[in-house]
Amino acid sequence: MTTLFYWRWPRWPWLFRPDGGTDYSRPGLTKVRNDSQKPAVNDSSAPAANATPVPKPVRQRRSQWLLLEFLGSMYLAITLLVVVAIASVIGTVLQQNQPYADYVLKLGPFWFEVFRGLGLYDIYGAAWFIGILAFLILSTSVCLYRQTPHLLREMNRFRTQVQLHSLRGFHQRAEWRLPERDPGAAQAEVTGVLRAWRYRWRVEDRDDHRIVAATKGRFSRLGYLFTHAAVVVIGIGGLLDGNLWLKLKEWRGEIVVETRDLMARDIPPISRLAPGAVPAFRGNVMLPEGSAANFVFLRMRDGFLLQELPFAIELLNFQVEYHTTGQPKSFLSQVRIHDQKHLGDQPLEAEIRVNHPLTYRGYTLYQSDFGDGGSNLELRVWPLTLPQAEPVAIQGAVGETLSISGPSGPLRLELDDFRLYNLLPELDSRPGDRKFRSFGPSFSFKLRDVAGEAREYFNYMAPVQMENRWFYISGMRDRPSAAFRYLHIPMDSNYSLERFLRFNARLRDTVGLRELLARSAPLADNADLQRDLDQVRLNLVELFVRGGFTAVIERSRAVVPAERLQDATTLYLNLLRDTLAEVFIEVLREEGVDLNEGVGEREEAFFNDAVSALTVLPEHGSPFFLQLTGFQQVEASGLQVTRSAVTRIVYAGFALLVIGIFIMFYTSHRRLWAWLAVEEGGTRLVVAGASNRRTAEFAGEFAAIQGALARRLGAPEAIGPAAATASPTVPPEAAADNRSGDRAPEFER
Amino acid sequence: MSVTREAMLEHWEHPSLWQRLTARDLIWALAVLVGSVGVWWVYRDLMDGYEIAIQIGSTLGLIVWGWYWRPAQVFVLVVALLTVTALWRYGADYELRHSDFLLKYILESQAAFMWMSALYVLATATYFVALFGRSEFVGQTATALTWSATAMGLTGLFVRWRESYYLLGADVGYIPVSNLYEVFILFAVITALLYLFYEDRHRTRAMGGFALLIISAAVAFLLWYTFEREAHHIQPLIPALQSYWMKIHVPANFIAYGGFALAAMLSVAYLLRLGAEKRRPEGLLARTLPPLDLLDDVMYRAIALGFVAFTIATILGALWAAEAWGGYWSWDPKETWALIVWLNYAAWLHLRMTKGWRGAPMAWWAIVGLFVTLFAFLGVNMFLSGLHSYGSL
């Protein structure tokens, strides 16, 4: 049994060296014995580092030792650690647990499959990753199992069997000849000093000498034990608190991940977990105000499981408080826990805030998210492609899908979200300015055509001031990953969209336009020419409303020879602009704006902004402008509910780790020996010492002890070279030193 | 009670910690206690139980720190004096910072940070002058500059703490370790204190220039961040950061970062000296750079201290995460990178302690370690998305 603990850790590669390790049949003294191989006694210039281990016959190994050797190999452990580190890095670079569709978009179909096969979308839950972690824990346990008995013995042992030449090989040593003292008197001085330095010692009479073997700080050996045990405890605890249980159930076929988008009540039993089915989980639920749930969803890969709770959570109220600067100050959910069995008819009321979770019967409820819980929106639908500007009022709640008829078939209007506050960086701010402005409420929606193609829109309720003008703003994107592109519709003097929309409608009213052009002052003398010109103007307007200025320029490019292109395009654009202006003036006149003094500055600015908006309107792509005219906000609070199996044990592991590391770095196990022998009517005294760590500090301590001893002994002349003393600048904690004397057995890997 | 000769001898030869304490040490302890009680008395309405526990812990820590390292006593007293002076000048009016001479030019937090920045850069240059000019006096000047810079930096942090209450209101002020701007100051101060400790214990100023180079780099970033990004404005805390854990988690982390940074800078010196010894053993570099075994030793000590602090900081972070994010470990990018940093230095320490690795490979590794740490500190916030994205640029 004992031999088990003295196998050495093999060198790279981590399988065995053919000659095996050194057999330390007397483990504690091995190093000292090695030192003694040197011929010179007083040779301090060549410390123990030069000593080579004596090869011993290879012991017959048994297969279980082979296994232990393999499992406990430090190099294997380091190799696996590197794998874990690389995998972890991948896990931080590749965002984890995203919808699979996003990965397909990002990676393409081929790499998507490869990555999925490797489990890279949930790397920390992948079987191979957990397997490696488990193996590392096993490896550390084996290491611990092999070393612990050894270090416990080291802790309690006084090494009295030390030889004189071993002591003389130590880095820290002193030797005196004491002519007028017997060993007993000398021993009294030695033990006096040892007591002053709080060493424990044992005295033994050997054949021809007396040995005082002392130790101090033996509990330093526990540092190894504590740290490595802590790693095992934390590792096992972490695995047990992870999704190991779910994996196990899935592997045994007891549960199936649900990937469809279902209501909670429609989820089949095979994807449901009863309360207590797994000891640890982390799930989420989004609760609208006034609703309750007795379940949470556990996200797994591209789907989820439903975890039932033994109680129901009712969200009474969710509120966000803001700082005066507009940043959120607190998120607060007021909840009521209903638990007939434990609370009876009196539900538990509590508040959950960020950093202040609620723990109830081993379940912990966290404030983790918030969103819209189905706010009611009142909308006005303004047609953008029709010759009239009459709005239709509709109502809907966030989360609903409405049907709405468009110019090219029915459209599905999906109301996605509502936000009460939009705090955005000031428009002219540079990054880091930290100037924010509130843009007021907004809502977002998708318009999906029969083919399933959708565009996403983001409209603000209130107009926004930019460069001293006011605009209604609508953002659009056709891919979820794209940035929004914005349409700025100028606000009229009634704070409304109407002037712009009437302008837009008039441009699409071909009959009205023709009449208007007929009424307006003729540009040509000839009636035929005038008719052709009017037709050109009508065509230009039509091109413009269908494709903006781009369409006009393109048409011009298509029909005009290259040498006249520049002039013709300028002419077309001027003609278009004049026509637009005429229509605009007509719109103003209808509105009753007094135009006797000409068009005012504000109207002119409006016209320019309106034309800018019109030219991006085709790209904006929506046949309507949806204006938010009223709302009734319903908020939802995202709660995270967790259950943890072994948190306390893991925390104990944390404590063990901290204590262990402190012991490792800031304590050391020190040994001192005093060898006393009768010699020519006096006593020969050899004192030597060694420390497993902090050798620089020990050198200082030894020097102090040596000095105190010398004073007590009447400062006799020391024999041989003085022990290495600690100089303040150069701590002799060098490689050679570390190998000399009493090296830490726990590091004997 | 009889005192034997033996007991007297023992006492004289090797006094215990209590026996070694001098009157000065006891006065120190008393002063810290009185100061701490005073602070508690003034601010008790703003503190919850955890924060009182943290204050008690800090008080005891401060006393022991002063006992363990005497120069810390003077330093703490100076910082306390400067801070109290600033608070006294402020009174109840934050706007005094524009008119009161002491505040405007010295003690207002921005002014203090500017002093700190200037003094650190000056100290860096002075250390190098002392090193190559072999001047004891210049060396002493460099040390004094470093101490002054550190005192200004720490004072600035304390004053900013108080200023946040003026600015944001009594219920939202916070300890200034919550964003990148503030922690960079903390980093400079802690790294300098670690360096000053080793300078004092090893009685050499040869390492100063190298240690302060990284602090100067931090100062350069800080100035860019202040003037280019205007990051110095005090902003209220987001809900996730409103926790007493921040008071211990962040400083613990920066002790670790300071230790790792110091080790990396000493590794640079180590490699320079090693190279110089190989190529031109009689050259200026080989003669003047700090000796290899000193560098090796301090490097080890800095990493060991950093490792201890990092372990504690990560554990504190895990405990906080259990309260804020729903679990002590979520494989969030910040957590994962903290684990990588921890494993990296654990491997470094294992190979040094068990295999006796020394020299250039370990120095290179310590430098690489700083980059890994830097990524965990900055890169994660800048390039990766996660829960811990508080300190983005």
DSSP codes, B249-305? HHHHHHHHHHHHHHHHHHHHHHHHHHHHHHH-TTSHHHHHSPPHHHHHHHHHHHHHH
Range with the lowest mean pLDDT among A268-272, A318-322, B143-147? Answer: A318-322
Nearest CA in chain B to A711: B13
The answer to whether the CB atoms of A729 and B202 lie below 8 A apart is yes
H-state helical runs in chain B: 5-13, 17-20, 23-43, 49-68, 71-90, 101-102, 109-133, 136-168, 180-202, 208-227, 245-279, 284-288, 292-324, 333-355, 360-374, 380-383
Contacts of B318 in chain A (CB under 8 A): 654
Q: What residues in B contact A78, CB-CB < 8 Å?
A: 347
pLDDT band of residue A431 (cuts 50, 70, 90) is low
Strand pairing class (A303-322; A272-273): parallel
Asked if B243 and A355 come within 8 Å (Cβ–Cβ), the reply is: yes
From chain B, pick out residues whose CB is under 8 angstroms from the CB of A693. 353
The pLDDT score that the predictor gives to residue A433 is: 56
- A-chain CB neighbours of B339 within 8 Å are 88
Chain B hits for A712, CB-CB cut-off 8 Å, are 9
**What digits encode the pLDDT tens for the residues A21-30?**
333 333 332 3
Higher pLDDT, A653 or B391: A653
Flag whether pLDDT at A37 surpasses 60: no
How far apart, in whole angstroms, are the C-alpha atoms of residue A341 and residue A325?
46
A125: nearest CA partner in chain B: B331
The mean per-residue pLDDT over the stretch B270-274 comes to 94
Average pLDDT value for residue range A480-486: 86
The reply to whether residue A747 touches residue B353, judged by beta carbons under 8 angstroms, is yes
Q: Which residue in chain B has the smallest CA separation from A328?
A: B238
A648-689, pLDDT tens digit by residue? 999 999 999 999 999 999 999 999 999 999 887 788 999 999
The residues that bridge with A322 in the sheet, in sequence order, are A328
Distance from first CA to last CA of chain B, Å, rounded? 68
Q: What is the nearest CA distance from A495 to chain B, expressed in angstroms?
A: 35
Tokens of A305: 């499981």
Distance from CA of B115 to the nearest CA of A (A): 23
Answer yes or no: is pLDDT of A180 > 90: no
**Which helix (DSSP H) or strand (DSSP E) does residue A706 occupy?**
helix A695-712
Name every chain B residue with its beta carbon within 8 A of the beta carbon of A743: none
Nearest-angstrom CA–CA distance, A654 and A222: 15
Residue A559 is predicted with a pLDDT of 86
Q: What is the pLDDT of residue B298?
A: 94
**What letter represents residue A99's amino acid?**
P
pLDDT the model gives residue A430: 61
What's the pLDDT score for residue B3? 60
**A521: helix, coil or strand?**
coil
- Across the interface, whether the CB atoms of B293 and A732 are under 8 A apart is answered yes
CA–CA separation, B27 vs B22, rounded Å?
9
Sequence ranges of the domains in chain B: 11-68, 78-391
Buried b (16+ CB within 10 A) or exposed e, B215-240: bbebbebbeebbeebbbbebbbbbbb
SS3 A493: coil
- CB–CB of B323 and A355 under 8 A? yes
Test B353 with A708 for CB contact under 8 angstroms: no
Which of A9, A92, A226 to mutate against chain B (most B CBs within 10 Å)? A92
Pick from A89, A329, A647: which is nearest to B239 by CB? A329
- Whether the predicted pLDDT of A259 surpasses 60: yes
Q: B173 or B191: which carries more pLDDT confidence?
A: B191
Is residue A301 very low, low, confident or very high in pLDDT (cuts 50, 70, 90)? confident
Residue A720: predicted pLDDT: 60
Q: How confident is the model at residue B193 (pLDDT cuts 50, 70, 90)?
A: very high
Q: Predicted confidence band at A631 (pLDDT cuts at 50, 70, 90)?
A: very high
Burial A365-386 (b: 16+ CB within 10 A, else e): bbbbebebbbbbbebbbbbbbe
Tell me the pLDDT tens digit for each residue of A138-148: 988 998 998 89
Assigned token pair, A513: 């336009």
**Distance (Å) from the alpha carbon of B202 to chain A's nearest alpha carbon:** 5
CB nearest B10 (choices: A195, A431, A733): A195
The answer, yes or no, to whether residue A476 has pLDDT greater than 90, is yes
Considering only the beta carbons, identify the residue of A124, A704, A738 that sits closest to B356.
A738
What would the pLDDT profile of B22-70 be if each residue is shown by its tens digit?
899 999 999 999 999 999 999 888 888 999 999 999 999 999 999 999 9
Per the CB < 8 A criterion, the answer to whether A386 and A505 are in contact is yes
Amino acid identity at A746 = E
Judging contacts by C-beta atoms under 8 Å, the chain A residues touching residue B230 are 432-434
Residue-level pLDDT at A49:
36
Q: How far is B81 from chain A (nearest CA, A)?
A: 33
CA-nearest residue of chain B to A692?
B353
Bond from prior residue into A13 cis (ω within 30 degrees of 0): yes
CB contact under 8 A, B356 and A74: no
Give B-chain residues touching A744 at CB under 8 angstroms. 353
- The distance of B167 to chain A (nearest Cα, Å) reads 11
Q: Are strands A436-438 and A392-397 parallel, antiparallel or unpaired?
A: unpaired
Residue A54 has pLDDT above 80, yes or no: no
User: How deeply is B322 buried, as exposed, middle or buried, from its count of CB atoms within 10 A (0-12, 13-18, 19+)?
Assistant: buried
Residues A197-215 have a mean pLDDT of: 91
A714-732 mean pLDDT: 51
The 3-state secondary structure of B296-364 reads: HHHHHHHHHHHHHHHHHHHHHHHHHHHHHCCCCCCCCHHHHHHHHHHHHHHHHHHHHHHHCCCCHHHHH
Question: Does the distance separating the beta carbons of A749 and B294 come in below 8 Å?
Answer: no
Q: pTM to 2 decimals?
A: 0.83
Rounded alpha-carbon distances, angstroms, from residue A192 to A197, A515, A706, B3:
9, 122, 12, 15
* Mean pLDDT computed over every residue of chain B: 91
Contact criterion met (CB < 8 Å) for A81 and B347: yes
What is the DSSP annotation of A196-227?
A: HTT-EEEEEE-SS-EEEEEEE-GGGGHHHHHH
Give the per-residue pLDDT at B287.
Answer: 86
Which chain A residue shows the shortest CA-CA distance from B305?
A665
- Nearest-neighbour CA in chain B from A5: distance (Å): 16
Phi, psi at residue A55, to the nearest 5°? -65, 135
Contact between A4 and A145 (Cβ < 8 Å): no
> Rounded mean pLDDT of A160-189?
88
Average pLDDT over residues B143-159: 97
Mutation target for B interface from A641, A668, A729, A749: give the one with most B CBs within 10 A.
A729
Q: Please say whether the beta carbons of B376 and B340 come within 8 A.
A: yes
- Helix B245-279 to helix B49-68 angle, to the nearest 10 degrees? 30
Residue A5: predicted pLDDT: 30
Contact A283, A297 (CB under 8 A): yes
Confidence class for position A36, pLDDT limits 50, 70, 90: very low
Q: Token pair for residue B188?
A: 């400079």
- Residue in A with minimal Cα distance to B385: A95
Minimal C-alpha gap between B216 and chain A (Å): 23
- Assess whether pLDDT exceeds 50 at residue B143: yes
Report the pLDDT averaged over residues A11-28.
33
pLDDT value at position A38?
34
pLDDT at B2: 55
Cα–Cα dist B80/A732, whole Å: 38
Q: How many CB atoms lie within 10 A of CB A493?
A: 11
Mean pLDDT of A373-379: 92
Among B197, B229, B298, B353, which would you mutate to test the A interface (most chain A Cβ atoms within 10 Å of its Cβ)?
A: B353
Distances (CA, A) of B43 to A236, B30, B60, B92, B239: 43, 20, 19, 14, 22
A683: Cβ contacts below 8 Å, ≥ 6 apart = A177, A178, A181, A182, A183, A185, A186, A676, A677
At B90-119, the pLDDT tens digits run 887 888 888 888 989 999 999 999 999 999
Contact A330 B312 (CB under 8 A): no
DSSP letter string over A233-275?
HHHHHHHHHTTHHHHHHHHTTS---B-S---GGGS-GGGEE-T
The C-alpha of A71 sits at a distance from chain B's nearest C-alpha, in angstroms, of 18
- Higher-pLDDT residue of A598 and A152 is A152
Q: Which residues pair with A487 in a beta bridge?
A: A474
pLDDT at A81: 85
- Compute the average pLDDT of residues A265-291: 92
Question: Higher pLDDT residue, B100 or B218?
Answer: B218
Residue A651, pLDDT score: 96
> According to the model, what pLDDT value does residue B21 have?
85
pLDDT the model gives residue A55: 45
Using DSSP, state whether B247 is helix, strand or coil.
Answer: helix
What span, in angstroms and rounded, lies between the C-alpha atoms of A712 and A176? 12
Interface test with A, best of B12, B14, B201 (most A CBs within 10 A): B14
ipTM score of complex: 0.93
- Residue type for position B177: V
**Mean pLDDT of all residues in chain A?**
82
Task: Report CB contact under 8 Å: A749, B354.
Answer: yes
Helices B333-355 + B292-324 axis angle, to 10: 150
Of the ranges A90-104, A714-728, B170-184, B323-337, which one carries the lowest mean pLDDT score? A714-728
Q: Do A74 and B358 touch (CB under 8 A)?
A: no
- Which H or E run includes A330? strand A328-338
A300-314, A381-395, A554-568: which is most confident: A300-314
> Nearest-CA residue of chain A relative to B241?
A355
pLDDT at A73: 74
